C-alpha cells in the first residue's frame, strides 16, 4: 500500500542504537553493526528531513550489561535523539516493558510503526510480537536491523531465521522501499 505524505506518516522507531552493541568483547556485540548503523542513519535522516515522527528505544537493566550507570548504554553519537523526538527506556526486551511506551501507544490512533536498529532477536522481536497482540501494526526494515553473533550458528542464517519468525507478526521489507524520492512512502 502506498501512503501519501499528506496522510499521517509512519513513526520510525529506532531500537536500541546504543554503544553496547558496537563494543568489541561485549556480550551483545553486533559484528555488522557499522553497516546497520549506516542504514539506520539514512532512514533517520529521511524522517528528520520530512519532520516525520521518530521514537528511540533504549535498553536498560540492572545487570552487568545495559547498566544505566555505564556509558555503554549511551546512544551511538550519530543516532542520538534530537529535541522533539520521543525516547523510551525499557528494562525487558519488549518496548512494552516501558509504562510510558504502553501509555503512548495506547493513546495514539491507529498508526504505522517502522522498526529499525539493534537487538533483532530481543527488542525488535519482542516488540513486534507484543504489538501484534495489542493490534498495533509494525513494519521491520530487514536491512536496517541486526542482532548479536550467535554462538553455534552462522550469523546470516540466524538473522534470516529471526526475520522469518517476525514475519508472522509484522511486515518485512527492505530500506529501498522507504528511500524513494517521489514524495511518497511505501508501506
Residue 65 sits in a domain of what CATH number? 3.40.50.850
Total domains, the chain: 1
Tens-digit pLDDT profile for residues 27-81: 778 878 899 999 999 999 999 999 999 999 998 876 655 555 566 778 899 999 9
99 sits in the region (left: phi over 0; alpha: psi -120 to 50; else beta) called alpha
Q: Which three cell numbers stand for residue 65?
A: 550489561
Residue 5 banded pLDDT, cuts 50, 70, 90: very low
Whole-prediction pTM: 0.87
Residue 86 has pLDDT above 90, yes or no: yes
Residues in the chain: 187
pLDDT at position 67 is 54
Q: Which three cell numbers stand for residue 165?
A: 519468525
Mean pLDDT calculated for residue range 129-141: 94
Q: State the alpha helices, DSSP H only, in the chain.
A: 33-49, 99-107, 125-133, 155-166
Residue-number span of the structural domain to which 175 is assigned:
2-186
pLDDT at position 38 is 94
**Could you write out the three-class secondary structure of 159-182?**
HHHHHHHHCCCCEEECHHHCCCCC
Q: Three-class SS of residue 129?
A: helix
In this structure, is the dihedral angle defined by the CA atoms of residues 137, 85, 144 and 45, taken in order, positive or negative? positive
Q: Which residue would you say has higher pLDDT here, 179 or 15?
A: 15
CA distance 153 to 171: 25
Q: Which residue would you say has higher pLDDT here, 27 or 154?
A: 154
Amino acid at each position: 500500500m502506498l501512503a501519501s505524505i499528506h496522510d499521517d506518516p509512519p513513526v520510525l522507531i529506532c531500537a536500541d542504537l546504543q554503544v553496547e552493541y558496537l563494543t568489541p568483547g561485549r556480550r551483545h556485540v553486533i559484528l555488522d553493526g557499522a553497516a546497520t548503523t549506516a542504514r539506520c542513519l539514512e532512514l533517520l535522516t529521511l524522517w528528520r528531513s520530512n519532520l516525520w515522527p521518530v521514537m528511540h528505544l533504549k535498553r536498560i537493566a540492572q545487570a552487568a550489561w545495559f547498566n544505566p550507570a555505564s556509558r555503554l548504554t549511551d546512544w551511538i553519537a550519530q543516532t542520538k535523539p534530537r529535541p522533539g523526538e520521543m525516547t523510551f527506556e525499557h528494562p525487558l526486551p519488549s518496548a512494552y516493558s516501558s509504562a510510558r511506551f504502553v501509555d503512548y501507544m495506547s493513546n495514539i490512533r491507529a498508526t504505522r510503526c517502522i522498526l529499525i536498529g539493534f537487538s533483532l532477536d530481543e527488542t525488535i522481536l519482542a516488540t513486534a510480537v507484543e504489538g501484534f497482540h495489542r493490534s498495533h501494526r509494525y513494519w521491520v526494515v530487514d536491512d536496517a536491523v541486526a542482532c548479536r553473533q550467535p554462538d553455534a550458528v552462522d550469523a546470516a542464517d540466524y538473522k534470516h531465521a529471526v526475520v522469518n519468525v517476525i514475519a508472522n507478526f509484522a511486515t518485512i521489507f527492505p530500506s529501498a522501499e522507504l528511500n524513494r524520492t517521489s514524495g511518497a512512502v511505501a508501506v
